[in-house]
Amino acid sequence: MASIMSTQQTTPDRQFHLSILSFNGTEILLAKSEIYSVGTDYVFEKNSATDKHIGYISGTAKSAGKKINVYGFSSTLELLRSCPVEKPQCIIVRHARGEIAILCQSTEEIILNNAHTQTVPECMHSTNMPITHLSLYQDTQNEQKIAMITNADTLFNYILNYV
């Protein structure tokens, strides 16, 4: 499992370049360097109801004609079984074994300055939670928030192990 320090660009003053992925009010942060593409310009194909992924995307400049499995999450980070009615943003994430597409309500880039991150406590380690680190940060309205941070490999393993 990769750490947050090894999966993203940091500057000497401990700036973390991240993207906030929003799932109906629940936000998780992912290293910007692990996101290959963000957008709403994609072609979605439904999948059978028995598969974990809800379909495939194609037709993006970054997909180069490939079909990429699409996943979506609820606000409790459960896998969605169908595509949302409104066309959400779609990010393509690169992990150790390939690429997946994740549907998000919204995405926002953020730089955490002098951030102090904590590895998730041992009691919270689980394949039922795709979170690797926690951190305090200020959002764009200067409100203090607790960040739940993940990485592409952890997110992919969470999907693989989802029951």
**Tokens matching residue 15:** 């700036």
Whole-angstrom Cα distance, residue 56 to residue 143? 37
User: Does residue 26 surpass a pLDDT of 50?
Assistant: yes
| The token pair that represents 50 in the structure block | 């028995």
Domain count, the chain: 1
- Check if the beta carbon of residue 26 is closer than 8 Å to that of residue 75: yes
pLDDT score at 91: 92
What one-letter code names the amino acid at 83?
C
Is pTM, for the whole model, over 0.85? Answer: no
User: Any bridge partners for residue 18, and if so which?
Assistant: 31, 110
CA distances from 23 to 33, 57, 64 (A): 20, 19, 27
* pLDDT one-digit tens code per residue, 62-120: 656 788 899 999 999 999 988 887 878 999 999 999 999 999 999 999 888 767 788 98
Query: What single string gives the DSSP state of each residue in 63-125?
Result: TTT--EEEEEB-TT-PBPSS--SS--EEEEEEETTEEEEEEESEEEEEEETT--EEEPPGGG-
Range of the domain at 88: 4-161
- Looking up tokens 């941070």 gives 149
